[in-house]
Amino acid sequence: MDIKDIGKLFKKNKEGNGENTNVSYEGIISSKKPKKFEKPRLVLSIDMGSNYLKAVEGKLQKGSISVSKLAEVVLPEGAIADGKIINFEVVVNALERLIKENSIKARDVIITTNSSSIINRDILIPAVQEEEMDTVVRYEIQQYLPINLDDYIVQFVVLDEIVDDDGVKLKVNVTAFPERVALSYYNLINALDLDPYALDVSYNAINKLANLGEYTHKEVGLIGGPVAFVDMGAASINVAIFKNGKLDFTRMIKMGGDNILYALSESLNMSIKSTEFIKFKDIDLLSEDEEDEKSKIVQGVINDLLEELERIIQFYNNRASTKIETIFIYGGLSNIRNINLFLEEKLNTRIQRIEDIKNVNLGNNILMNRDISQYLNAIGAIIRL
């Protein structure tokens, strides 16, 4: 969606701290496609994580993304939690530092995030005229969820047309984004004296990127059925399953890399900061050395995580009467040595770590040596459909 329109929904918070409770809502934000003749726009796309802010400067041009900058900045603990800005001033200062130190020139900003407070549902609605769909979708989603829709920005996309004995119905994917969270991002961009351009959610960003890179196209021969993309972050594991190039299922596991750090810290009597270094350098998930205490600790945490992931995959397979053939992993936790082989053995499913994306061009040799998997959400958000 176009985040510029958020200004029409909210009374701007004069204090600029994202805590304004006097919010005016004037209607649904419409999804806008860039005009075909519009000049490629250089943007700064920011993935709002709990431990890091990941930023990409680049533009979409002729079906490919040209990346000019990749940058990240560490956040103090508690600055962002579950996609929500907790310490506004700290986040502003962190982004100011990132922009200055990396000589970022883009003025238009895209924010992408994920949160358990963001609602995503597939619903069936009667086939109605386009101008009536907004009203029907809002009515139907209210029947599914006991929430006050006036507190959410609602957008939807038609996935399929279904004909049954009751007539023609439309399968619609609905996303409801909390207004207060959107307002805090809007105020954040304004505090940086930059221009708000778009707001995205990570599973939508990765869907666009997967299609751009032909990860979900059956005809390219990579896969023959539904695929899962698993974002292995610090505070959570986000699972997005795509079928025929469209989002079909999402879930969030409230575990991640932080659980490994805490387990190592407690077992080895080390600081959290010290365990961050050894997490990737010293751990081998296929280690059978009984004296390799660190790897054994991490194997235990990953096994707990795997129980949740396996439950999600099995639930989807049963619901869809199919089997996910490939799971693509990315994010910080995917860097642990042999994690793909460890997951394959446990899940009996092909696991592939994403290391490059077709149609994403890195501007120089320095960028080509960077781990692109850490920036996939931000890169995908550059694509405006």
Q: How far apart are CA 242 and CA 222, in angstroms?
A: 14
Under 8 Å CB-to-CB from 63, ≥6 apart: which residues? 212, 359
Check if the beta carbon of residue 152 is closer than 8 Å to that of residue 178: yes
Q: How far apart are CA 330 and CA 335, in angstroms?
A: 8
Under 8 Å CB-to-CB from 59, ≥6 apart: which residues? 40, 41, 42, 43, 65, 66, 382
**384: pLDDT confidence band, cut at 50, 70 and 90?**
confident
User: pLDDT tens-digit profile of 173-227?
Assistant: 899 999 999 999 999 999 999 999 999 999 999 989 988 877 765 444 444 468 9
Check if the beta carbon of residue 248 is closer than 8 Å to that of residue 242: yes
Question: Angle CA(51)–CA(266)–CA(77) in degrees, nearest 5?
Answer: 20
Percent of the chain with pLDDT over 90: 51
User: pLDDT tens-digit profile of 81-118?
Assistant: 999 999 999 999 999 999 999 999 999 999 999 999 99
Fold of 217-355: Nucleotidyltransferase; domain 5 (3.30.420)
> Mean pLDDT across the stretch 276-299?
83
50-68 b/e (C-beta count within 10 Å ≥ 16 → b): bbbbbbbbbbbeeeebbbb
Closest to 256 (Cα-Cα) out of 276, 278, 237: 237
How many angstroms from the chain centroid is the CA of residue 284? Answer: 27
> Mean pLDDT across the stretch 343-350?
91
Q: How far apart are CA 374 and CA 55, in angstroms?
A: 10
Question: Angle CA(315)–CA(349)–CA(236) in degrees, nearest 5?
Answer: 60
Q: How far apart are CA 115 and CA 136, in angstroms?
A: 26
Check if the beta carbon of residue 88 is closer than 8 Å to that of residue 13: no
125: pLDDT strictly greater than 80: yes
Q: Range(s) for CATH 3.30.420.40 in the chain?
A: 217-355
- If one compares 217 and 172, the residue with the highest pLDDT of the two is 172
Under 8 Å CB-to-CB from 348, ≥6 apart: which residues? none
Q: Range(s) for CATH 3.30.420.380 in the chain?
A: 3-15+39-211+375-384
For residue 318, give both structure tokens.
């049963």
Kindly report the backbone phi and psi dihedral angles of residue 175, in degrees, each rounded to the nearest multiple of 5, phi listed first: -120, 130
Q: How far apart are CA 359 and CA 10, in angstroms?
A: 37
Q: How far apart are CA 271 and CA 24, in angstroms?
A: 46
pTM: 0.85
Closest to 90 (Cα-Cα) out of 102, 111, 75, 100: 75
Give the CATH class of 3-15+39-211+375-384: alpha beta
154: pLDDT strictly greater than 80: yes
